[in-house]
Amino acid sequence: MNTWALVAFAFWALFLRYLPQILNFLRLQRFAKTLPGPSVGELIANVKKGEILNWLKELRERHGPVFRIWLGKDLMVMFSDPEDVRQLLGNNALLYKSRNYRLLEPWLGKGLLTNGGESWHRRRKLLTPGFHFRILSEFKEPMEENCRILVSRLKERANGEAFDIYPYITLFALDAICETAMGIKKHAQLQSDSEYVKAVQTICRVMHKQSFSFWQRLNIFFKYTEMGKERDGALRVLHDETNRVIRLRREQLLKEREQQKQKEKEQEKENEDKAEENDVGGKRRLAFLDMLLLTQLEGGAELSDVDIREEVDTFMFEGHDTTSSAIAFALSLLSKHAEVQQRAYEEARDLEGREKESMPYLEAIIKETLRLYPSVPFFSRQVLEDMQVGKHTVPKGASINCLIYMLHRDPVNFPDPERFDPDRFYLNEKQMHPFAFAAFSAGPRNCIGQKFAMLELKCSLSSLLRSYQFMPDKDHQPIPLAELVMKSGNGVRLSIKPRRLN
Ligand code: HEM
């Protein structure tokens, strides 16, 4: 065989190897032509400007609730109609996250957020009891202790002068997740400057930029760029910290187990009664990290050290960045709406010392905050088989994206959508479409930390409202940025003065 024949044969073999992908890409292109959407040039211009959220909002207004975007060879189909969102989130065939989430893998590996299919299902089953309501009730005490520290740290700012409250809130939220789900004392609030928090900020910024850049999406090149090096530096800080948390808790747990065994030997009878008290339906409930470590120690499910680190990375990130954003935006809105703040204050004052969960007006404020500033403004899934959504048959190989930020601005369910009005949820929630509000997603891949988040939000906001009055910084309007988790690009500035201190 001569050289040309060999080359022709190699091309033919390659062509056959990639024929299914080529045919599918052509199908994606045919489907994309049936949808409106921006040109590649428009995408590049808006990525450069860094105003993705405003641009998506503009596209929603221009094209309606379904449109498409090409990200390199990846076709993203964007949905924001509540009926479409209902179909998507309830669909058990949509359990794989889109390719975009792979950018998170150097950090979160195959943790619960990025994992898919059967492996995700096994982990979700294993982790769900870690957020059982009995466990959450044990979290209240450490949570309240951290609220007291937050209130006390803010004393230095209670002079009526405007400042950025966001750094105070992030450290509080980091301590809250570490001292509850992870079972270790972190004291980030008392150190006032956390390398971990800075590294999370770096990585969110870098990964957001990477996700909208064609060539930087390729990890082979990305790691050699300036941004790639910045990401790798942040990754070292993040992984060192999670490894430290795991090591610390493992040592404590082993000690506690030894002490427990000793006790059991001494008081066998008494212990039987005690064990019953700790049981829910015959099964002992353990907090998140203890459950992972004990499962590993007892060999119940195969869990390597890396598996545990991936979950701890995922929960440390999701468990503090989302709630910090929600608390800070809620305070910003309350500072600008004195009458809403007064009603919330009166509810918190009257219910002091009683069950914090029953604060219906504060709950409405939290939902209205998450409507306007959803901590996770959009999320996406990989379509593995052709699927019908409304009148569209989305082909296999496309990604679908739920634009929660736009869903929450649908004027049919939320008239005058930019107006902050907690009464929408306090008085009129039943009249809304059940999927008009989806800040915690819904269906099998909904937020596992939803109840934890509500507990933390209610606990912190009620403590803060009882202690301080919040006033706006008139020159400041938060600039929402969608860097994985919604942030304010210019901080959250306001001023405070004491009501009375706890
Ligand atoms: C205001 C607070 C929060 C909001 C708005 C929120 C929202 C969401 C949303 C929309 C998703 C779906 C994301 C996707 O499909 O890609 C999600 C997933 C998740 N959230 Fe949250 N979250 C919050 C707090 C928390 C907390 C406190 C934790 C942990 C303690 C947590 C842990 C997770 C995890 C692990 C997932 C992935 C679940 C899975 O795929 O099975 N979140 N969250």
pLDDT band for 263, please (50, 70, 90 cuts): confident
Cβ(189)–Cβ(154) under 8 Å?
no
pLDDT at 384: 93
pLDDT at 183: 87
Is residue 180 within 8 A of residue 189, CB to CB? The reply is: no
Q: Is the pLDDT of residue 218 over 90?
A: no
In 3D space, the residue among 500, 449, 494, 455 whose CA is nearest the CA of residue 476 turns out to be: 494
The answer to whether the CB of 234 is under 6 A from ligand 1 is no
Nearest protein Cα to ligand 1, atom 19: 447
Q: How confident is the model at residue 280 (pLDDT cuts 50, 70, 90)?
A: very low
Residues 6+ apart with CB under 8 A from 384: 93, 96, 396
Q: How far is Cα 53 from Cα 212, in angstroms, rounded to an integer?
A: 12
Helix axes 338-350 and 450-467, enclosed angle (nearest 10)? 100
Confidence of residue 180 (pLDDT cuts 50, 70, 90): very high
Angle, vertex CA 495, rays to CA 493 and CA 496, nearest 5: 135
Instruction: State the pLDDT at residue 271.
Output: 59
Q: Is it the case that residue 247 has pLDDT exceeding 60? A: yes
For 491, phi then psi, to 5°, come to 75, -175
**Residue 126: pLDDT above 50?**
yes
Residue-wise pLDDT for 34-60, tens only, equals 999 999 889 888 877 777 888 999 999
Q: Which atom of ligand 1 is nearest to the CA of 457?
A: 1
Name the 3-class secondary structure at 497. strand
Q: What is the pLDDT of residue 114?
A: 95
Q: What tens digit of pLDDT does each residue of 425-465 get?
A: 999 888 899 999 999 999 999 999 999 999 999 999 999 99
d(CA 149, CA 467): 12
- Tally the residues of the chain: 502
Residue type, 458: K
| Spacing, Cα 440 to ligand 1 middle (Å) | 6
For 343-364, what is the mean pLDDT?
Answer: 85
Residue 116 Cβ < 6 Å to ligand 1: no
Considering only residues 133 and 58, tell me which one the structure prediction assigns the higher pLDDT: 58
Gap from CA of 313 to ligand 1 centroid (Å): 13
> Domains (ranges, CATH) in the chain?
40-498 (1.10.630.10)
Beta bridge partners of 78: 67, 401
Tell me how many helices (H) and strands (E) the chain has. Answer: 20, 13
Per-residue pLDDT at 86 exceeds 80 = yes
Do the annotations mark residue 447 as ligand-binding? yes
* CA dihedral over 269, 271, 277, 281, signed as positive or negative: negative
Average pLDDT, the chain: 89
- pLDDT > 80? residue 362: yes
Q: Are 131 and 452 in contact (CB under 8 A)?
A: yes
Closest CA to 46 of 217, 213, 201, 231: 213
Q: Distances from the Cα of 69 to the Cαs of 81, 287, 322, in angstroms?
A: 17, 41, 26
247 CA → ligand 1 middle, Å: 25
C-beta separation of 368 from 425 below 8 A: yes
Protein residue with least CA distance to atom 31, ligand 1: 449
- Candidates 91, 122, 124, 318: which one to mutate for ligand 1, based on the most atoms within 8 Å of Cβ? 318
CA 38 to chain centre: 28
Are 398 and 76 spatial neighbours (Cβ–Cβ below 8 Å)? yes
Banded model confidence at residue 146, pLDDT cuts 50, 70, 90: very high
CA 331 – CA 465 distance, rounded (Å): 9
Helix (H, G, I), strand (E, B) or coil at 13: helix
- Encode 366-413 in three state secondary structure: HHHHHHHCCCCCEEEEECCCCEEECCEEECCCCEEEEEHHHHCCCCCC
- Ligand 1 pocket residue status of 448, Cβ below 6 Å: yes
As a whole number of angstroms, the distance between CA 229 and CA 382 comes to 29
User: 375 alpha carbon to ligand 1 midpoint, in Å?
Assistant: 9
CA distance 192 to 214: 38
> What is the residue with the minimal CA distance to atom 11 of ligand 1?
447
Q: Is the pLDDT of residue 415 over 80?
A: yes
The pLDDT of residue 192 is 61
The per-residue pLDDT for 418 is 96
pLDDT range class, residue 14, cuts 50, 70, 90: confident
Contact 98, 399 (CB under 8 A): yes
